[in-house]
Amino acid sequence: MELLVIGGGNMGFTYAKSILDSGEIASGSISILETHPPRIEELKEYSDFTIYDSIACTSSADIVFLATKPQQCKELFENIKHLVKPNQLFISVMAGVTIASIQEGLGTKKVARAMPNLPAQLGKGMTGFTGAKELTEKELKQVQKLLETTGKAMRVSSETSIDAVTGISGSGPAYVFYFMQGMIDAALQMGFNEAEAKEMVSQTFEGAVAQFKESNDSLLTWMNRVASKGGTTRAALDSFDENNLNKLIQEGAFAAQNRAIELGKK
C-alpha cells in the first residue's frame, strides 16, 4: 500500500507522520509531494518519507491525501488529472472544497472529504468525514482508520454535516482560545503575571474537560456543582447570561458554518 500526501505543510506533514507512527502504512511506503524549495529541504530531514517535487509521483500511489491550500486546488487538479487512476482513493482535508468539485477536477469518483482541526498535530484532533457514494464500506473504514491516527474521527452522513463540523470542531479550538484569552486578560488585571495566568487557565480547562469526559453528567449539572446560590461562580454565570454569551457563542459557530458553505460554492 502506497500513500502520497500532496502538500507538505503543517496538516499534510501531520497526517504523514501520524500514519507512519501508527503503523497503518509501513515505513518507506509514505511519500510527500511538495514544491516549495525551503520546505522540501526541511522535509528531507525525515528519512522515513520519500520527498518528491514532481507531480509524476501521483500515478504510483494507492491512496492520495490532498492537503494543499483550498485556493490552490484548481491548479492542482489541472496538473495531476491526467495521472489519476480509477482505483486510487483520494482523501481531501482542504476546507470548503466539495466532493463533487474534486471528482470533476480529477475525473475520478473515489473521494472522501474530511475536516480536521488544529489539535490533530498533537494526536488530539477531532475530524469529521464523509465519502462519495461510490466508496465501499471497506474503503470508508480505511479512511476512518487513517484519519484516527491524529485523534478521533467521526463519520457523518453528508457534506452538509461537514460544514457543521467546520463550525463546531474545525473552528472550535479558536473559540476555546478566545475564551481562555479573556480569562488570562482578567487574571493579569487581577495582578497575576503571564506565567501564573497561563498555568491557572490552562489547567482549569484541562481539568474541567477531563471531568466532563469521564462522566455521563450534563454540562448544566457540572455548572450547578460549582455554582452555589449567591456564590462567586453564580455571579459569573449570571453575568454571562445577562450578556447573552451562550447565544453569542452559538451565533459564532453558525457564522463559521455559513462561511464554510459559501466557500464550497466558489
pLDDT value of position 206: 97
Four-CA torsion 204, 213, 125, 130, nearest 10 degrees: -150
What's the pLDDT at 205?
A: 97
Tens digit of pLDDT at every position of the chain (266 positions): 999 999 999 999 999 999 999 999 988 899 999 999 999 999 988 889 999 999 999 999 999 999 999 889 999 999 999 999 999 999 999 988 999 999 999 999 999 999 999 999 999 999 999 999 999 999 999 999 999 999 999 999 998 899 999 999 999 999 999 999 999 999 999 999 999 999 999 999 999 999 999 999 999 999 999 999 999 999 999 999 999 999 999 999 999 999 988 877 76
> Residue 263 has what pLDDT?
79
Closest CA to 111 of 68, 66, 71, 156: 66
Protein fold of 172-265: ProC C-terminal domain-like fold (1.10.3730)
The residue extents of the domains of the chain are: 3-156, 172-265
Torsions phi, psi of 180, nearest 5? -60, -40
Amino acid 44 reads K
CATH topology of domain 3-156: Rossmann fold (3.40.50)
What is the Rg, in whole angstroms, of the alpha carbon atoms belonging to the chain?
21
- HSE, CB side, 13 Å, CA atoms: give it for residue 188: 9
d(C-alpha 123, C-alpha 261), whole Å: 27
What is the distance in angstroms between the CA of the first residue and the CA of the last residue of the chain?
34
